[in-house]
Structure 1
Amino acid sequence: MDIRRHLSVYKGLPRDIYVLFISTVINKMGSFIVPLMTLILTEKIGFSKYEAGLFTTIAILSQAPFLVVGGSLVDRFGSKRIIVIFQSLGSLLYLTCGFMKPTVAVAVLIVIASNLYALATPAFNAMVPSITPKALMKNAYSLMYLGSNLGLAIGPMIGGILFSKNYLNLLFILDATTTIISTMMVFFFVRGKAKLSISLAKGETSGTKAESSESIFSFIVKNPVIIAFSLIMLVYYFCYVQWNFLLPLQTVEVFGKAGVSVFSSLFSINAITVIVLTPILTSITAKTYPLKSMFVGGILYFIAFGMFAINRYILIFVAAIIIMTVGEILITINSNNYIAQRTPKQYLGRVNSMFFLFMGAGFATGPLVMGSVLTFVNFQYAWIIVSALMLFGATLMYWLKFIEKKSDKKSLEDDYDEYNEIASND
């Protein structure tokens, strides 16, 4: 296998994308607080497990309006300004927590900081199309995904060590510091506009109807495929989150006290697989239409979840995790690209915020619903339900691709192939 050929998918990207990649690695490498949120609430602040769960749910739900507002702010003021302002404000609150004793006040400040970060969340996805030619957009999103996982492969491990040694205040300070560094990189080194000739121009998006003066509601009404895609992705994320909910509970039931170590190992295998295979899969699927890749990813989820249902052996768990992770890569690098390809520049912030809301709904309802299901069935039947739902979602994704090809307007797939041809000639 020619590794250099697969890594070449990241060559020729705009300079700003490489800066954003390094910024993402630094930011995620310092992501200590959110992964440890439950432990901070229970072991340091003194919440019960129920109180911690309720508090975390409320905190997640409170981010919804901030995502919506953030999307509107991005479309009005631009991605760069929103990232710099709200990432900086959020990090200052974390820095404040670093000099406080762990109390309820600290928990409240964490939530406020998370909401400030939520205001900036749509800006990161919206920035990529504004600095990347359309033909290279999938590669750019792939690099951002790789950077995020590189950082997350290191950060939580360091955070766990410092937390176990009772350095909570230092965790807040380091988290804030890495966020400030990554934000300053965006401020000083990201120009915010694509210089190449195939840049994403206003209203120049494939297969999408838009007028510069219309509202976001009018745009969505004229382009219902975006809502259909977001609803299908809600199903995808509802099923995907189960590997973080059902699987750790299942490993404890199957392997007893060793279950925690087994799940931690599976988590590490997921991260390593993402880092190793993301450039390879990006290269292999370079000319594959996004919906087709996401359909294949959904089928891989279906297979992996089915394996979880019938398995009690570690090697089968490992194989299933690798299969699931391949699906995760295909879905992640294509979903953001699909939204960007179909959305004119003036709506990118708001459409991305809407997409994050649907994604968040899947993440939030998945554990709640399947937790209730577990009171009636065992893990085997729970995974069968999830697997069947995943097959339904993948079928819907294939149907959406079929509907697009049958539409009277110019096929988005043909246009996508055209841009890939341009990219290959550059």
Structure 2
Amino acid sequence: MHRPTQIVCVFLLLFLTTTLSFSQSKKQLELEERRQELRNEIKQINELLFKDKSKKKSQTTLIEDLNYKVSVRKNLIMVTNQQANLLTREINDNQNKITELRDELEVLKENYAKMIVTSYKSKSEQSRVMFLLSSTNFKQAYKRIQYLNQYANYQKEQGVAIKTKTTELQETNKALLKQKADKQKLIEENRIAQRELETELAQQQQLMAAINKNLNNYTAQIREKQREADKIDREIEKIIREAIAASNKKAGKSTATSTSFALTPEAKALAKDFVSNKGKLLWPVEKGVVKVRYGKQPHPVVKTVTIQSNGVRIATEKNADVRAIFNGEVMRIITSKNGNPTVLIQHGNYITAYSNMAKIYVKKGDKVSTKEVIGQVFTNPSNGETILNFSIFKETKTVNPAEWIYRM
């Protein structure tokens, strides 16, 4: 193989090794970030759903909370396993790297030793001055000076290379020891998580056995709750349609066929800001876990029943403040005989809905700013549950809040 080809191969190998190492480290950071998120979520679940044991929860609520906790715990175990497996690969890579570095260091030391011996012999046979004086002409003497300088520089480079390679070997050894310690820590944490999961699964089975005895009653309760949720959603859609018609009438446009808001320049700018913050909007409560997510899905307890969630159900702490997720104007406060109030806030052609409120601090027409407290979440006195139902509408159509709220 020609020398240029060898150099290209060496550089290519170095590039691939560095790229692989970088991608593994990046993946490890991503997994660690996700693992910490899941650990924090379990902590919040314990604080918000399992802390107050004095309140008697219904069996469906208990199993719902436990199912949620089990699913998060399973995800935590899975992510931790992925981390441990990735660390195993990184440990193997570093062990191979250490072997290669030791071999390279050995070759460097051997070459350096030979160079020193050769240099010593040449000095004993003939001095530098005599070597130069024996030149036949000035040009040859000049070339010999260059050669001697190059040889001396090469010796220095070899010495630096040995020092660099030794340092690299030491750092790789340190990294290897840390990786082994990290892996052992992950394994221990996963053992604890696995034991906790087994306990939760046993509780889950007991509760499900009791629920299956009265499955028809629970199914009827779930469908009744779905009807109540659908009724609120229809009421919100009706209010939004009326607001769309009013905005078009005010702008001198047809109200019969209008499905979109006739926005003022100010409202257009607000809508644009709202959209530009997609994925970065703050949570409507300071602390919370999403018990029911957006969309059509099997009920978390009775899997044979399908539910349609046009928003998210967020479990939070007692007396939790509800915050406007973005600048806007209070469109309407909805009150109903059987349910708790809902606050609608308009952000251009987007509307956010905050349902199951206990206290409301705003009124129709109020301008609100991001993070402004608009009320408090209702806490059910019979079971201690504090649930905020939260939705986002674009015109009359719902959108998935998880795509808009930061890390929901």
TMscore range, shorter length? under 0.3
Structure with greater proportional helix content: 1
Of Structure 1 and Structure 2, the greater strand share is in 2
TM-score with structure 1 setting the length: 0.23
Give the TM-score normalised by structure 2.
0.24
Greater RCO, 1 or 2 (C-alpha within 8 Å, sep 6+): 1
